[in-house]
Amino acid sequence: MDLHKIKAYCKDPKNRSTVNVGLFILLIISFHFIYLGWQAIGYWPIGKTIEKLMVWSVNLVYSQSCWLLEHVFRIDITTISHMRSIATPNNAGGWARVIIAPDCACLKQWMHWLFLMILFPGPWKHKLWYIPAGLVIIEWTNAIRICGILMMQIPWPNSFHLAHDYIFKVFFYLVIFLMWVLWVEKFYNPSIKAKQHE
């Protein structure tokens, strides 16, 4: 492997899109394994703080999901607050239900976003507002995801795992990917072109 050829390939403007996508994939996969390792050691040395953040973020997405279901989607819901359970009648005469567990909160996705955007190149004057805006979008995307999982169960009572594991998980990460694409197209690439013309 010739390091000079790799550097030359990365610097060639024709290869910028490929290099950007490669860096995105590398950062996303790297963080996934870093997070799993950190989780395995109890989020040392700030485990207690992470636990508190988990509880706070679960309560936040629970209240946002309830609000969306009642005020935006106009669905009559039954809740059990201490369990963070949301239910509504389904078309089969039973109940569509979601219970928001700590893993349902988007703390991991927030950290994913921070890791990605801090390490991915681009102008910091834009990162300072784009990163927090992304965190807000991720939070509301998660609330929409939870609403979607519940609402899919109304016409299709046995669709929980399909909705939870596939449809809305893909939707969640698609939103993160599209925010990154927007960053690259509107802020990173123009900053590279501006430097080349200086």
- Output the 3-class SS for 134-167: HHHHHHHHHHHHHHHHHHHCCCCCCCHHHHHHHH
- Does residue 27 sit within a domain? no
Two structure tokens written together for 25: 């994939």
| pLDDT, tens digit (0-9, with 9 covering 90-100), for 91-131 | 999 999 999 998 888 899 999 999 999 999 999 999 999 99
pLDDT of residue 198: 60
Range of the domain at 146: 32-187
By three-state DSSP, how is residue 183 classified?
helix
**pTM of this structure:** 0.91
Closest CA to 172 of 132, 140, 150: 140
- Does residue 40 sit within a domain? yes
- Does residue 55 sit within a domain? yes
- Does residue 72 sit within a domain? yes
Percent of the chain whose pLDDT exceeds 90: 83
- Does residue 155 sit within a domain? yes
Question: If you compute the radius of gyration of the chain from its CA atoms, what whole number of angstroms results?
Answer: 20
In angstroms, the CA 90 to CA 68 distance is 18
pLDDT of residue 72: 97
- Does residue 176 sit within a domain? yes
- Does residue 2 sit within a domain? no
The count of domains in the chain is 1
Average pLDDT, rounded, for the chain: 93
H helix runs in 12-159, sequence order: 16-40, 47-67, 107-119, 124-152
In the structure, what pLDDT confidence band is assigned to residue 5 with cuts at 50, 70 and 90? confident
- Does residue 194 sit within a domain? no
Average the pLDDT over 58-73 and give the result.
97
In the structure, what pLDDT confidence band is assigned to residue 193 with cuts at 50, 70 and 90? confident
